[in-house]
Amino acid sequence: MAKIKVGDEVVVLSGKDKGKRGKVVQVIPKEGKVVVEGVNIVKRHIRPTRRGQESGIVEREAPIYISKVMLICSRCGKRTRVGMKILEDPVKGKEKVRVCKKCGEVVG
């Protein structure tokens, strides 16, 4: 189970975007990377592939390593490491959930 999920708010720990916060828009488990809104912006030159399409430069987020970001807990608002807990639900059975190491609350 991934410790970081799409929709999480994270803070960047190192690199040129250190200290920046953003929402995770994509997780790439195979590469151990995530794409974070507004973080690690790169410029890409676009060549028109179809008629009528404009060429130019677009800015978009490039993936960064998961180890370079830290989750911001939606409960206590602090940056935190993620723990795992098994919940026993009478209906759903055993369920693995993420917990905030700072406040101990279950993180969505």
106 binds Zn ion (CB under 5 A): no
As a whole number of angstroms, the distance between CA 61 and CA 56 comes to 16
Give the interface segment with Zn ion, choosing from 2-10, 36-44, 51-59, 67-75 (CB under 5 A). 67-75
- DSSP class per residue in 19-80: T-EEEEEEEETTTTEEEETTSSEEEEEE---STTPPPEEEEEEPPEEGGGEEEEPTTT--EE
Closest contact distance (angstroms) between CB of 13 and Zn ion is 17
Choose, by CB under 5 A, the member of 3, 20, 75, 79 that binds Zn ion. Answer: 75
Q: Which residues pair with 46 in a beta bridge?
A: 56
Closest contact distance (angstroms) between CB of 83 and Zn ion is 10
27 binds Zn ion (CB under 5 A): no
Quick one: DSSP state of residue 100? E
Choose, by CB under 5 A, the member of 4, 66, 73, 82 that binds Zn ion. Answer: 73
100 binds Zn ion (CB under 5 A): yes
The nearer residue to Zn ion, 64 or 70, going by C-beta atoms, is 70
Closest CA to 33 of 2, 60, 58, 9: 2
Give the interface segment with Zn ion, choosing from 28-36, 49-57, 66-74, 89-97 (CB under 5 A). 66-74
